[in-house]
Chains A and B, each alone.
Chain A
Amino acid sequence: MSVSTMEAALLLAGVLFMLGLISVLIRRNIIFMLISVEIMLNAAGLAFIVAGSKWVQPDGQVMFIFILTMAAAEVSVGLALILQIYHQLKTLDSDAANFMKG
């Protein structure tokens, strides 16, 4: 694997992260925003894997396992929050949940 491929893999991680960021910014459906956060986490994990492959160290893959764990915990709590929002507001519009109640 040549250096250009490593750079291309880093660029791939950057492109995927940017696509997720764009989707978080432009979407109003809250499930799509959660999916975009998953895309961004995945891109970050890809960058770690690239670094671990570059220096032939297991640390990158260890970090990817941590990211995977965090993504699983995050998506479960996020989906529970989405269910609560849908039951309270009867919509998936993230703009509908822009006021605090306390």
Chain B
Amino acid sequence: MELTFYIAAAVAILSTIMVITRYNIIHALLYLVVSFLAVAVVFFTLGAPFMAALEIIIYAGAIVVLIIFVIMMLNLTQEDVQREKEWLKPSVWVGPAILSAVLLAELVYIVAAGTPPQTEAVVAVDARLVGLSLFGPYILGVQLCGILLTAGIVGAYHLGRQKKKVIHRFLQERSAAA
């Protein structure tokens, strides 16, 4: 079980590095799917199998497919890959990378130097407990999530709507001339 965890963690980190260094966005999305699958395996080893399923269904399924559809609508070509290559010069990424690595080093130090608590075996928290907790003490959060999703739907519809087409062709010509 521990070996499974470490292998999945290594796969997750490597594929995420591949995601953020790709020039072609479709390749990056494929690596992103691999990263999400690896994180799902990590969830499984941590005793959260229901969350692993949700991770695969929603992250690797719905969200990535949504991004792929938008990329298909945008009609990206080979020259976009070239421009992406120009945008990602070493002078751009060295500074933020070093600063973030310093932050990560601090985090590693804090986690490693913390007092280790007592050991215990992994116990799976099954979906029944999660459901009871979700619709018990956290019912307000569930309702807020519903409001958030409604706002998301309305906002995405409003923002994604194209400009209103002119129905009549004479009016269209006049509006083009104006």
Give residues in A with beta carbon < 8 Å to B: 1-3, 5, 7-12, 14-16, 18-23, 25-29, 31-32, 34-36, 38-39, 42, 46, 49-50, 52-53, 56-62, 64-66, 68-77, 79-84, 86-87, 92-93
Cross-interface CB contact of B148 among A15, A64, A70, A87, cutoff 8 Å = A70
Interface SS of chain A: helix, strand, loop or mixed? helix
Interface residues of B in 35-72 (CB under 8 A from A): 35-36, 39, 42-43, 45-48, 50-51, 54-55, 58-59, 62-63, 66-67, 70-71
Point out the residues of chain B lying under 8 angstroms from A32, CB to CB: 20, 25, 28
Are B2 and A1 touching (Cβ within 8 A)?
Answer: yes
Are A35 and B28 touching (Cβ within 8 A)?
Answer: yes
Give residues in B with beta carbon < 8 Å to A: 1-2, 5-6, 9, 12-13, 16-17, 19-20, 25, 28-29, 32, 35-36, 39, 42-43, 45-48, 50-51, 54-55, 58-59, 62-63, 66-67, 70-71, 73-74, 80, 84, 87-88, 92-93, 96-97, 100-101, 103-104, 107-108, 111-112, 116-123, 125, 129-130, 132-134, 138, 141, 145, 148-149, 151-153, 155-160, 162
Point out the residues of chain A lying under 8 angstroms from B116, CB to CB: 3
Interchain Cβ contacts under 8 Å between A and B, 8 examples: A12-B13, A15-B13, A22-B96, A28-B88, A42-B35, A62-B130, A75-B67, A80-B160
Point out the residues of chain B lying under 8 angstroms from A76, CB to CB: 66, 152-153, 155-156
- Tell me the minimal C-beta distance from A29 to chain B in angstroms: 6
- Tell me the minimal C-beta distance from B44 to chain A in angstroms: 10
**Closest A-B pairs by Cβ, 10 of them:** A73-B152, A1-B122, A25-B96, A23-B20, A80-B159, A26-B93, A80-B160, A58-B133, A53-B46, A58-B129
Cross-interface CB contact of A71 among B63, B71, B119, B157, cutoff 8 Å = B63
Cross-interface CB contact of B149 among A29, A64, A72, cutoff 8 Å = A72
Closest B residue, CB atoms, query A2: B119
User: Knowing that A1-B1, A12-B9, A46-B39 are A-B contacts, what are 4 other residue pairs whose CB atoms are under 8 Å apart, sorted by A's residue number?
Assistant: A1-B122, A9-B46, A42-B55, A61-B130
Closest B residue, CB atoms, query A83: B160
